[in-house]
């Protein structure tokens, strides 16, 4: 992923008035945090689906050479839509007050494959345990294995660490296997048009929607997208998995933004929203 210092600053003299102070960036960031797509909430990744969202979200952005914008304020106002469907074309759209940039998948692997031979014997054992039982809690561990896990954790307390599990996953991946390629489309927009889209997002209740939206149970092969809105000092990220009814209006706004730049032949449609 590109370094944070490589970010662009358009400095349009425009900011977004967020309705709450709850959307601040992390107070402090360590090198171990850089992979978390939603770094402010890294300590709450105590569920398997939350961990997967953070881990694979990082690699998705990395494949498109996109910054992790959740770490620091960028000095700019940015809207970003990330679409990662299972049976459609992945893409990332980033809009500032004077430009829209669209990156569309062409070929290769979005997610680098894992090569477990890169792990040593102890790491492989821990990896297999965490793949099955993360997070290790009394709720997740069968009663017949409780004594074994209690002893194992005393000797290996790192098994309780989300960062440790992350490091094993990261060590096992192979980056040189079918690297992903994508096409880039760019177009200028006016500040007035940008403000129009911000108002449309406000009217779609973006700032009051929950951070995670999905049908329950969530189908494993459906469409979904992530929308980030970054003000100068605050941001919010919303994930719409399989595009439930609560996010229909938001999806329409995102699609309108996409239609500004997407070539018709690429047929980039969120969640079959048109």
Task: Point out the domain boundary residue: 144, 172, 200.
Answer: 172
Residue 43, SS3?
helix
Per-residue pLDDT reduced to its tens digit, 208-263: 888 776 655 454 444 578 899 998 888 888 888 767 777 889 999 999 999 999 99
Q: Are residues 53 and 147 in the same domain?
A: no
Give which of 259, 217, 267 is closest to 242, Cα–Cα: 217
Q: Are residues 58 and 156 in the same domain?
A: no
Q: Are residues 67 and 107 in the same domain?
A: yes
**Where are the extended beta strands (E) located within the chain?**
78-83, 91-95, 99-107, 181-188, 212-214, 224-230, 235-241
* Residue span of the structural domain in which 222 resides: 4-113+181-272
Instruction: Return d(Cα 265, Cα 274) in angstroms, integer.
Output: 15
Q: Are residues 237 and 159 in the same domain?
A: no
Q: Are residues 190 and 256 in the same domain?
A: yes
Q: Are residues 123 and 109 in the same domain?
A: no
Q: Are residues 104 and 136 in the same domain?
A: no
Task: Point out the domain boundary residue: 128, 152, 172.
Answer: 172
Per-residue pLDDT reduced to its tens digit, 163-220: 898 889 889 988 777 789 999 999 999 999 999 999 999 999 998 888 776 655 454 4
Give which of 173, 166, 172, 170 is closest to 130, Cα–Cα: 166
Quote the tokens at residue 93: 């759209």
Local confidence band at 106 (pLDDT 50, 70, 90 cut-offs) = very high
- Domain count within the chain: 2
Check: pTM over 0.85? Answer yes or no.
no
Local confidence band at 1 (pLDDT 50, 70, 90 cut-offs) = very low
Per-residue pLDDT reduced to its tens digit, 206-215: 988 887 766 5
Q: Are residues 9 and 93 in the same domain?
A: yes
Local confidence band at 118 (pLDDT 50, 70, 90 cut-offs) = very high
């Amino acid at each position: 992923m590109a370094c944070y210092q490589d970010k662009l600053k358009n400095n349009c003299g425009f900011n977004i008035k967020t309705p709450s102070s709850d959307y601040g960036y992390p107070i402090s960031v360590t090198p171990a945090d850089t992979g978390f797509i939603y770094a402010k909430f890294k300590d709450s990744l105590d569920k398997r689906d939350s961990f997967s969202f953070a881990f694979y979200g990082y690699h998705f952005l990395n494949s498109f050479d996109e910054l992790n914008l959740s770490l620091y304020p960028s000095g700019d106002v940015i809207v970003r839509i990330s679409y990662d469907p299972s049976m459609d074309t992945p893409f990332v759209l980033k809009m500032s007050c004077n430009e829209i940039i669209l990156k569309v998948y062409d070929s290769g692997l979005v997610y680098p494959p894992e090569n477990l031979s890169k792990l040593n014997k102890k790491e492989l054992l821990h990896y297999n345990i965490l793949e099955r039982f993360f997070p290790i809690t009394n709720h997740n561990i069968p009663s017949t294995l409780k004594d074994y896990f209690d002893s194992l954790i005393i000797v290996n307390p790192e098994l309780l660490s989300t960062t440790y599990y992350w490091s094993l996953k990261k060590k096992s991946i192979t980056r040189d296997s079918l690297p992903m390629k994508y096409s880039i489309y760019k177009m200028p927009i006016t500040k007035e048009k940008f403000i129009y889209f911000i108002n449309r997002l406000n009217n779609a209740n973006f700032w009051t929607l929950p951070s995670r939206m999905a049908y329950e149970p969530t189908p494993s092969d459906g469409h979904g997208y992530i929308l980030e809105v970054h003000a100068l000092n605050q941001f919010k990220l919303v994930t719409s998995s399989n595009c439930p009814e609560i996010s229909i209006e938001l999806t329409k706004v995102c699609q309108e933004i996409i239609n500004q730049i997407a070539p018709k032949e690429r047929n980039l449609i969120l969640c079959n929203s048109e």
